[in-house]
Amino acid sequence: MKMKEVQPVNKAIELVTKATEEDKNKNYEEALRCYEHGVEYFLHAIKYEATSDKAKDSIRSKCVQYLDRAEKLKQYLKKKEGKKPVKEGGKSSDKNSDDKSSDEDEDPDKKKFQSQLQEGIVMESPNVKWEDVAGLDKAKDSLKEAVILPVKFPHLFTGKRKPWKGILLFGPPGTGKSFLAKAVATEANNSTFFTVSSSNLVSKWLGESEKLVKNLFLMAREHKPSIIFIDEVDALCSSRSDNESESARRIKTEFLVQMQGVGNDNEGVLVLGATNIPWALDSAIRRRFEKRIYIPLPEAPARSHMFDLHLGTTPHSLTDKDIKELGMRTEGYSGADISIVVRDALMQPVRKVQNATHFRRVRGPSRDNPDVMVDDLLTPCSPGAPGAIEMTWIDVPGDKLLEPIVSMSDMLMSLSNTKPTINDDDLKRLQAFADDFGVEG
């Protein structure tokens, strides 16, 4: 666990070391970018990783130092941009001199596109661990194989043994594909995680969309090891046809070239895609996703585990036997469906309070101090219960209500009202695709 805590700091140190080198070599724009990116990682470490005050103070002092240098570089570059290169005698420089100057400066288009894509970088950990993902052991193993092991044990992946460069997660909606991606972003906290969708990459201006795709992969190579996660990848990479627009075709072509084209080295870059309709993908894109993992509906043990996870610390009276039974009763339900069942069940006590016509006094923990027990709390009851007082929730003081805890009957009532969102036709089609092109997750 201790090793994980220093990883963001290591990434920051790596960036500022590179910034210092670029600064010495007078590559000031690259130095400025590395300083700013390094400080972002240092701030991330202060917020989530550093444990002692001494470590936080040390990181803060480094941030001040690097920000001060970054500000000086920014001022210098601003002044430089305002000056035009001139020859001796005050005449404007010739065309060759202009070309040289523009080559030395960063391409303004590249800078613009990369700043647009910068928001796709996940700086803060989504805080989803492998153990938070119920089941899907094969999918988790494949992702560890592609993401975690190559960084931790680089000597394992030498010669012809290379990590996967493209993984496609496909399956019914709500089975945990995006949740798995969150787990990858959390666990691979020494890698740069890009999450992109069609809104990040599609532009109304002709030619900009494919440049955005190109710059996305350029950024990923600059910040490697990195992961590019494309949710609903079918929206960007569907099958090519004669009826589609020229711009859509060009985006797909750029994806094909960047993922596996001549002159593009994607060492240290993993492209992770997720889709509910894998048959809509272009066959060339499908081939570039070397590993295609079917994320099926959860089995009974995984469903039981999901009920347990979603209930969390909410007070309830369910036993292990009850949770196991709920897992058995939810055949055909996805993880998202189970989440909705539990959320609805958690609202049942609220409905009991709202609909109650009688309350009775009970003993329970005080709202001001849970360690102190009081005898004047009110909880909803049936009209014939001993000590029942005719009143509604409007008459109950705000600090005197003791709500009922969630019970098995609440869960069964919610289960009877919530139907699964996946039908047999969709499952058959997905299973057929898995039989032809994928592996079970």
26: in domain? yes
From 294, 309, 336, the end of a domain falls on: 294
Tell me, yes or no, whether 289 and 308 share the same domain. Answer: no
Tell me, yes or no, whether 164 and 304 share the same domain. Answer: no
84: in domain? no
Q: How far is CA 280 from CA 168, 273, 283, 396, 436, in A?
A: 13, 13, 9, 57, 14
pLDDT at 115: 64
Q: Which amino acid is at 150?
A: P
What is the rounded average pLDDT for all residues in the chain? Answer: 78
Tell me, yes or no, whether 170 and 23 share the same domain. Answer: no
- The Cα 151–Cα 155 span in angstroms is 9
Judging by beta carbons within 10 Å of its beta carbon (0-12, 13-18, 19+), is residue 243 exposed, middle or buried?
exposed
Tell me, yes or no, whether 159 and 268 share the same domain. Answer: yes
109: in domain? no
118: in domain? no
330 or 45, higher pLDDT: 330
Please write the tens of the pLDDT for every residue from 205-227: 667 777 788 888 888 888 777 88
User: Mean pLDDT over residues 67-85, rounded?
Assistant: 72
Strand partners, 358: 381, 390
Max mean pLDDT range (25-29, 252-256, 343-347): 343-347
How are beta strands 439-440 and 373-381 bridged, if at all? unpaired
- Counting the structural domains of the chain, the total is 3
From 232, 267, 294, the end of a domain falls on: 294
Nearest to 251 by CA among 196, 202, 199: 202
From 294, 317, 335, the end of a domain falls on: 294
pLDDT at 242: 67
Domain CATH number, residue 343: 1.10.8.60
pLDDT at 344: 92
CA atoms within 13 A on the CB side of 293: 24
Strand partners, 228: 194, 271
43: in domain? yes
pLDDT at 97: 43
Tell me, yes or no, whether 190 and 313 share the same domain. Answer: no
Domain CATH number, residue 43: 1.20.58.80
Say what the pTM is: 0.64
Q: Is the pLDDT of residue 9 over 70?
A: yes
3: in domain? no
* Domain range enclosing 47: 8-76
